[in-house]
Structure 1
Amino acid sequence: MKNIKRFRVLVMGRANAGKTTVLQRVCNSTEKPEIFDAKGNKIDGSVVQGTSARGYHNIENELMFQSNPGFVFHDSCGFEAGAAEEFDQMKDFVVNHAATPRVNERIHVIWFCIPMSESCRTVTAAELKFFNECDTGHVPVIVLLTKVDTLNLDAIEELEDQGWEIEGAQEKIVEKERELLEKWLAHIKHELGKCKFPPKGYVSLQKMHQESADCSALMQCTANVLNEEGLQRLLISTQQSSIALCVQYAVHE
């Protein structure tokens, strides 16, 4: 475990699920990530964006931020269109990088993003296919509810339909937002809980559009699902989101 130098995360989810924003917040950065191929050669980001409308198209590419090079990310191209080839490539990557004898190439956790901006289809066929068919072995999967703040509009709409005067009803809006989030989270847990390989944890991420957004809940959940103490220590020492988390694990030493 001492030989593992970086904490490696596979980030999954639909296109426009807010994945890059989450990674920026985790690494305290506003910059786009630097991209490297599997051999460590730096790739021109503009070339990548120009050749794929869906962003970082090669799952083997490593995404890193100068602000925190202890994290390495892989971005799985969204496979919501049902392309079998993309799904198979992702599955092969997970299998190969979950059990590779080259410890510095292993992925340690999978963050699966589901955006609340599309609340009418929170669990799609693509999600069900992944959690029913992709055995990630000892690599835990956490579902990240992203773009939670878009539920604000849904909350206002529902309250207006109920006859509320929205002006001055901020507390009621916040309460309704919380209610909607709990409803959708319960729905997602119910649907994915029936799958063959259900997630190990769930985190809702709010205010990710703000540079000061708090990622400590994500770090806490990730630490909790890791099944090796050495990986927990690696994550705690790498993350910069939560001093409290560092203290908590230091006390357990």
Structure 2
Amino acid sequence: MDSADIRKHFDGIGHFRILVIGRSNAGKTTILQRVCNTTELPENFNIEGKKFTKYPQRGYHNIEDELIFRSNPGFIFHDSRGFEAGSDGELMVMKKFVAERATATKLAKRIHAIWFCISMTDYERLIMASEEIYFNECNTTNVPVIVVLTKADTLEFLAIEQLIDKDMKIEEAKARAGEVAIQILGKLKTRIETQLAGCKYPPKDYVSLASMNEDHADCNPLLRCTTNALDDEVELQKLVISTQQVNFVLNIEYAVK
């Protein structure tokens, strides 16, 4: 599919638009590649729909830019930096973008979901003060927010360390690591849910993902969670599923529903 074909997807409502938020190294790009079944980087379009012929200079970032993968132009992504730097300016840009796009008159310009990525490698600082401010000040009443717990597989290393600290031999620790990692993930998820439940605009749902950089990685839980979060908006549910024509499991599942 060439750029002209990709550009056609900006017309009408033939795409599902997602805002992706997360700290650096949260694995956002890898997740988007898995969802779109590709290892290539996305093509970048500015707010006017013009493709960048030359990639912007290092450090450039604009939340309005639209990221589209050739392998699946049914999705349009917007990328937002995380708030680890505590930048008030970045938060203001985010709030303005969500306020305008979550209630846009033209459905084609509206964001339909937000994926807020939290890497499990950051288990010692799961939710920072600046991120909690986001859930208290960014009005997401009109768009579902899914918290995506990324890199859940890395918790196995933490599990091994904990088991070895209990004087378990390395071989046995490795054998039990998967089981213990699941328990650790459950506790971390509970901590996040408890902290965000008291916010003014808490997430709609949570989902964990593991090994997204591997060929066997399964992104169905994220797509299923996103679809269910749309509640009774049947047309949007059909839209997100239609972007996954090769995903027979999801297509059959929602066809039955």
Structure 2 distance, partners of 1:174, 1:187, is: 20
Structure 1 distance, partners of 2:73, 2:251, is: 18
1:23 aligns with 2:32: yes
Matched residue, 1:63: 67
**What are the superposed Cα offsets for residues 124-156 of structure 1, whole Å, 9 maximum, x if unpaired?**
112201111111121000000011121121111
Structure 1 distance, partners of 2:246, 2:159, is: 29
Structure 1 distance, partners of 2:172, 2:125, is: 31
1:236 aligns with 2:245: no
Matched residue, 2:49: 40
CA contact (8 A) 1:223 1:232 kept: yes
1:8 aligns with 2:13: no
The code of the aligned residue for 1:225 comes to A
Matched residue, 2:254: 249
Matched residue, 2:3: none
Q: What RMSD over aligned residues (CA atoms) do the two structures have, in Å? A: 1.6
Matched residue, 2:158: 154
Q: 2:58 aligns with which of 48, 51, 63?
A: 51
- What TM-score results when the alignment is normalised by the length of structure 1? 0.93
Structure 1 distance, partners of 2:104, 2:36, is: 26
1:117 aligns with 2:121: yes
Structure 2 distance, partners of 1:242, 1:80, is: 35
Q: Could you say if the C-alpha distance between residues 211 and 78 of structure 1 is closer, same or farther in structure 2, counting changes exceeding 3 Å?
A: same
- State the 4+ residue runs in structure 1 displaced beyond 3 angstroms: 168-171
SS of alignment partner, residue 63 of structure 1: strand
Structure 2 distance, partners of 1:58, 1:44, is: 16
Q: 5+ unaligned residues in a row in structure 2: which ranges?
A: 1-10
SS of alignment partner, residue 42 of structure 1: coil
Q: 5+ unaligned residues in a row in structure 1: which ranges?
A: none
How much has 1:3 moved relative to structure 2?
4.2
How much has 1:114 moved relative to structure 2?
0.4
**What are the superposed Cα offsets for residues 16-59 of structure 1, whole Å, 9 maximum, x if unpaired?**
111000000000010011110011111146x33x331xxx6110
Structure 2 distance, partners of 1:40, 1:176, is: 47
Matched residue, 1:214: 218
SS of alignment partner, residue 180 of structure 1: helix
Matched residue, 2:230: 226
CA contact (8 A) 1:10 1:111 kept: yes
Identity among equivalent pairs (%): 51
